Structure 1
Amino acid sequence: MKRYYYWADQMPAKPDYHLPVKDFFKSLLYSLDRFSFAVNTQDPSSYPRSVRNMYGFDYAVIQLAGGNVVTTVKLVMKNSPAFNSGLQRGMMITKINGKVITAANAEELTSAIKDQTVIELTVGNWKNGAVADEKNLTIYYGYSSEQPVESRIFEKNGKKTGYLYIYDFPDGMTPSLSQKFAAFKAAGVQELIIDLRYNYGGSVSSAAALCSMIPSGITSSSPFIIYKGNKNGGEVKRTFSQQIAYDPNAVDFNTLRANALGLSKVYVLTSQSTASASEIVINNLKPYIQVVQVGDLTLGKDMAGFVVEDKRKPKKISWQLHPVIYKVFNANGQGSYSNGIPPQITAGEYTTLPLLPLGDQEETLISSALNNIYSKSAEKNASERSVKVLFQSDTPSAAIGK
């Protein structure tokens, strides 16, 4: 930590070595550090817990124009415990473990969910301004499989728009991205919407691979990212090609470029759950292409790091440290978005209920982007603030660990 931690000069001179490991690590951190964390690889309970990574769904508590407070399911991961129990995006939750959800108890109920291994939801469908067809669903704590990249092609007046929903950026996803872009290219796609609204990030190499297939005019030596650390970490610059190659299973830059769309503009859908490598996509494409961001302000993780762990064999220490080591910048040296990246087109996901499936052209954020593409103007009601978001289960603390 003294050597590489970004805020090493802010660490306490005399830390309390008697504290338990997790508390001791926290005591070393700079007060404004939201993202560094430590986990014990032999103790699952030490990992950051969230409704999403335990059960595979997320929800929002919102206040409607008339003052009514309702809770809507916004994300259900494919082949997750929630998905397998029948939960769907757009359903309304009226009770969690028998308790009616209110603005006052939403955070408390969410925290309680994280300490359980089975939860009971009372859900219904939104019909004519009310919840109907209520039923109970039981969801068991469990594993969610890797999420597929989903694609659509929308067409109007002969112009084709490609749509990609990307849940996260794991290593090894470049073959899938390459196939999607090959299909877009073969279909003659002229515009592109990338949906990163729930994407907490992951591999910068996978993010670089995505970016490499969008604009025209880049080469393997085009600069992609600048990492700036403390006096020991220094400055590291990587081209598209170098960053992609950091993933040992990646498709190489030249192969990816063969499927590039060569666009001059891209639309990116965002929310406050858009973080880390997703924000790098937005910021690091800007030197090469016009990025039109649609939705909400992003989370603001302009940081990166690497895992610090015991490499000895056999391993003697099971703890893993995930400290913040670098601030990240694009090829023009632009970064410093710790307060989030604001959209050009503000659109509230919850302005229309029920929430439509991701990939539906009538869905609020998608239709806002399509309106801009096909009629060159954002829908007026997209930015209306008649709906107030009171609580979301994927609050920023849940994004820690990406």
Structure 2
Amino acid sequence: MKKHFTFQLLFLLAVSVFILSCIRNDDEGAPVFPEGSTESVNLWVQDSMKRYYYWAEQMPAKPDYHLPVKDFFKNLLSAQDRFSFAVDTQDPSSYPRSVRNMYGFDYAVIQLANGNVVTTVKLVMKNSPAFNSGLERGMMITKINGTAITAANAEELTSSIKDKTVIELRVGNWKNGAVTDEKNITVYYGYSFEQPLESKIFEKNGKKTGYLYIYDFPDGITSSLNQKFAAFKAAGIQELILDLRYNYGGSVSSAAALCSMIPSGISSSSPFIIYKGNKNGGEVKRTFARQIAYDPAALDFNALRTNALNLNKVYILTSRSTASASEIVINNLKPYMQVIQVGDVTLGKDMAGFMVEDKRKPKKISWQLHPVIYKVFNADGEGSYNNGISPQIAASEYAALPLLPLGDSQETLIAEAMNNIYSKSAGKNALDGSIKILFQSDTPSAAIGK
């Protein structure tokens, strides 16, 4: 089981950091504070960040050790850093909160060509509180806790429901350009379980195309991936569509395992990824086999390759919620095959890290740090996509309402990929400029009207 935190963007490298320094700094003249004090915790935070943080050299030389720990941590961060965070394991309120990780769904507020503003449910996680309450992708939300959603209040409404443990939604279906059959749904705060891989096989004109939706990349996913690819291989698929549109990332090792099963011509010694850290971290290169092996629960490279599809091209569906390990899949397959990206520009997290915590027994510091530690590059040294990776086929999944289920061959992004596969051209309405995305619940910092 795994908690789904919004922008859980620092994916694990399957290592754990053993930090002993808690109340001392070895630098000459460094302060010493009583063990257990806020200042001593902040000194540990500073020592840890000096050692691992990618932008360590930009950290302030004389920070204020008397600040609350979370504020102290934020003051150490570079202006370029959108992703590092810290949590206190003894304080649940310190963890990132989002509609998705609290209730198991996400929505988008969009402006239609006629100027009307509507809100559509774009994601409902399986076996989540939202799923169990009857919420479905494609439903329209007209009110949240009795308040009608507008372009002006969407962000404020989203922020407010993150402080609640139960929310009331007024929802309906989209028919003939209007919301019909409205009803109320109550969604309680709760846990969402691991999301299953979902696959389909489409066939047209004698050509078979495999479709695989991957919600995230947890450690231990390789057996499930192997089963899906074994089915694809047995069916003789000739094309592959990977749906990573809502995939925030996860384990780099799991991403490497997926990548190992798609192209032809790779071996256990083929380079997969390059990590570049600060002066302490230096540069680290890993092959497919070595990166996969960092997940102790993973099948090894050779076992995975028995079901490899040996393709020379792959289609990947993306959105602004495609991040981290998902972006590594896109970028790191490029040296080995043609990658045709369909959808929107990705988030732009070209970096990685691992959790830093006190591993002493008994533990004396309850804080966990999730700092950016490395910039990541593919086998050709290509990376630096902090502004996101742009698609070859630009398309909006909101071009046609209601949103169809993921895996439906007529769903907008899937249909765009299929058009390219079977007719070698993108659809005419792939990117409808008259439809504007005003707000998305999984990107609350995005500007309204973007």
TM-score using structure 2 length: 0.88
SS at match of 2:429: helix
1:232-251 to 2 correspondence within 5 Å? 232-251=280-299
Instruction: Name the aligned partner's letter for residue 288 of structure 1.
Output: Y
In the other structure, the counterpart of 1:23 is 71
Instruction: Name the aligned partner's letter for residue 51 of structure 2.
Output: R
In the other structure, the counterpart of 1:45 is 93
Aligned CA RMSD, in angstroms, stands at 0.8
SS at match of 2:292: helix
Measure how far apart 1:92 and its partner are: 0.1
Q: Does 1:373 align with 2:373?
A: no
Q: Does 1:332 align with 2:380?
A: yes
Measure how far apart 1:187 and its partner are: 0.2
In the other structure, the counterpart of 2:184 is 136
Q: Is the 8 A contact 1:299 1:396 kept in 2?
A: no
Identify the match of residue 298 of structure 1 among 334, 340, 346: 346
SS at match of 2:430: helix
Mapped to 1, the partners of 2:261 and 2:139 lie a distance apart of: 35
Instruction: Name the aligned partner's letter for residue 254 of structure 1.
Output: N
SS at match of 1:189: coil
Equivalenced residue count is 398
Measure how far apart 1:10 and its partner are: 0.6
Q: Does 1:167 align with 2:241?
A: no
1:130-279 to 2 correspondence within 5 Å? 130-279=178-327
In the other structure, the counterpart of 1:70 is 118
Measure how far apart 1:99 and its partner are: 0.1
In the other structure, the counterpart of 2:393 is 345
Mapped to 2, the partners of 1:120 and 1:384 lie a distance apart of: 32
Detail structure 1 runs of 4+ shifted over 6 Å in the superposition.
none
SS at match of 2:256: helix
- Rg (Cα) greater in structure: 2
Q: Is the 8 A contact 2:155 2:444 kept in 1?
A: no
Measure how far apart 1:105 and its partner are: 0.2
In the other structure, the counterpart of 2:432 is 384
Deviation track 1:196-253 (CA, whole Å, cap 9, x = no partner) reads 0000000000000000000000000000000000111100000000000000000100
SS at match of 1:283: helix
Q: Is the 8 A contact 1:351 1:386 kept in 2?
A: no
Q: Is the 8 A contact 1:153 1:163 kept in 2?
A: yes
In the other structure, the counterpart of 1:104 is 152
Q: Is the 8 A contact 1:273 1:396 kept in 2?
A: no
SS at match of 1:18: coil
Q: Is the 8 A contact 1:348 1:385 kept in 2?
A: no
Measure how far apart 1:385 and its partner are: 1.4
In the other structure, the counterpart of 2:51 is 3
Measure how far apart 1:314 and its partner are: 0.9
Q: Is the 8 A contact 1:215 1:262 kept in 2?
A: yes
Identify the match of residue 367 of structure 2 among 319, 340, 357: 319
Measure how far apart 1:396 and its partner are: 6.4
Measure how far apart 1:397 and its partner are: 5.8
TM-score using structure 1 length: 0.98
In the other structure, the counterpart of 2:411 is 363
Mapped to 2, the partners of 1:197 and 1:226 lie a distance apart of: 24
Deviation track 1:61-92 (CA, whole Å, cap 9, x = no partner) reads 00000000000000000000000000000000
Report the identity percentage.
85
Deviation track 1:14-35 (CA, whole Å, cap 9, x = no partner) reads 1011110100000000012000
Mapped to 2, the partners of 1:41 and 1:240 lie a distance apart of: 33
In the other structure, the counterpart of 2:32 is none
Mapped to 1, the partners of 2:327 and 2:146 lie a distance apart of: 38
